[in-house]
Structure 1
């Protein structure tokens, strides 16, 4: 893929709202070794998959879930779902699930996996800080501390 073709693909990805097209673009880009284009298509896919309204806390939680599931599915070449996280959300909702994972003594496996894949902004810790009005200070402090412990700068004092 030439630079011009990659630029056109990236421009097309920005406005694409069709999951099937984004998956195909990502697969084609991977096959051609265009990892930046594949990543852009994947990230756009994770942005449009949640049924919740963009910009909401719930949308950001599901975007994180879809990102980790999609990445793991791609790496493992088989469908991977975060079954325990999905079940907990069904039982107690997104807010309690995120709070519990942040307040746990050690980081969740998902936290580590997202960091390894350069998606720190999709961790539940980062999501909680973007939606700070939904959480009390203990959760926000724990989220900021965990992110700082791995070298991620946060905007919280």
Structure 2
């Protein structure tokens, strides 16, 4: 990550940097700033482990995709409700083990943000999830 992006401390600065980078013809820096903003949001939420932080980053990345499509800030309302009801890791497990591919997976793939997909998080932390979730995640990512 570019040091200028790594030094950004809040989401507003990341968004401003991304806009400026795009205007100056540096889309790679804009993408880095967008990803840094996602990381900051996850850190602020208060995750208690690396796997929780990555799961939250995935939700925030999905919100970025939704917001880009809608042209305004769009929360992942149903996902947040599930997280509040079940907890972060169990909610991710539930989303992935459904036999139907989530809209988040598809949307993140279309935007080139697959590293934020729940399936990618599960494969980075297989010990935190069931073998079923790990197998499904591997199959989905192999098919992409």
Which structure ranks higher in relative contact order (CA pairs < 8 Å, sequence separation ≥ 6)? Answer: 2
**Given the alignment, which residue of 103, 117, 122 partners 2:116?**
122
With normalisation by structure 1, the TM-score equals: 0.82
**Given the alignment, which residue of 49, 54, 65 partners 2:41?**
49
Query: Does 1:16 pair with 2:17?
Result: no
The answer (yes or no) to whether the contact 1:54–1:60 under 8 Å persists in 2 is: no
With normalisation by structure 2, the TM-score equals: 0.89
2:36 and 2:49 map into 1 onto residues whose CA distance is: 14
The answer (yes or no) to whether the contact 1:69–1:81 under 8 Å persists in 2 is: yes
Query: Does 1:35 pair with 2:27?
Result: yes
Q: Structure 1 pair 44/129, CA: closer, same or farther in 2 (3 Å)?
A: same
**Given the alignment, which residue of 18, 37, 48 partners 1:26?**
18
Query: Does 1:84 pair with 2:85?
Result: no
Could you list the runs of 4 or more consecutive aligned residues of structure 1 that deviate by over 3 angstroms after TM superposition? 52-55
Shift of 1:57: 1.1
Partner in structure 1 of residue 137 of structure 2: 143
Partner in structure 1 of residue 97 of structure 2: 103
Q: Count how many residue pairs are aligned between Structure 1 and Structure 2.
A: 142
After superposition, the C-alpha distances for 1:30-88 in whole angstroms (9 at most, x for unaligned) are 23332111101001111111123586111101111111212332343211110000001
The secondary structure found in structure 2 opposite 1:105 is: coil
Partner in structure 2 of residue 5 of structure 1: none
- The CA RMSD measured in Å over matched residues stands at 1.8
Unaligned runs of 5+ in 1: 1-8, 151-157
The secondary structure found in structure 1 opposite 2:25 is: coil
Q: Which has the larger radius of gyration?
A: 1
The secondary structure found in structure 2 opposite 1:78 is: coil
